[in-house]
Amino acid sequence: MAKDQTKRIAPAQLQNDLDALTALNGFAVYTPANAAYAKTAVTAKQTAMKAAQDAETAAQVALATARDAAAAAEWEFHNAMLGVKEQVIAQFGKNSDQVQALGLKKKSEYKSPTRKAKPAA
């Protein structure tokens, strides 16, 4: 038995196990001393593994779909808020308290441009 059974098994190893199960099913006479390793028990475990892998794949697809939907909704909300900010500026002006309440700077808060002095030659 493996020491750390929390890590995933390499796909090549799983394929080797599936190939060995196929070979085992070809044996005419196989009677293990431990019933846990009978053909039916191992085949049931393989079926359970396949079902778990299918469930994992379905969950990954659902997660990707939900992530895409959430990203689209976030962008729709963000674009709506950009439009709201433009409408507030248009309605109340660039220097209003409403503009500042939305987290934007008033026009009067920006520094006036100044000329830089030429360096002495």
**What pLDDT score was predicted for residue 21?**
94
CB-based contacts of 63, cutoff 8 Å, min separation 6: none
| Domain range for 81 | 37-106
Cα separation of 51 and 45, whole Å? 10
41 Cα distance to chain centroid: 36
How many independent structural domains does the chain possess?
Answer: 1
| 97 domain-assigned | yes
**What pLDDT score was predicted for residue 35?**
93
- Residue 14: strand, helix, or coil: helix
pTM over 0.75: no
| 15 domain-assigned | no
**pLDDT tens by residue, the chain, 121 residues:** 668 888 999 999 999 999 999 999 999 899 999 999 999 999 999 999 999 999 999 999 999 999 999 999 999 999 999 999 999 999 999 999 999 999 999 988 888 888 888 887 7
| 18 domain-assigned | no
The DSSP H or E segment spanning 80 is helix 39-92
Query: Using CB atoms within 10 A of its CB, is residue 39 exposed (0-12), middle (13-18) or buried (19+)?
Result: middle
Identify which of 64, 75, 102 has the alpha carbon closest to the alpha carbon of residue 86: 102
| 20 domain-assigned | no
| 52 domain-assigned | yes
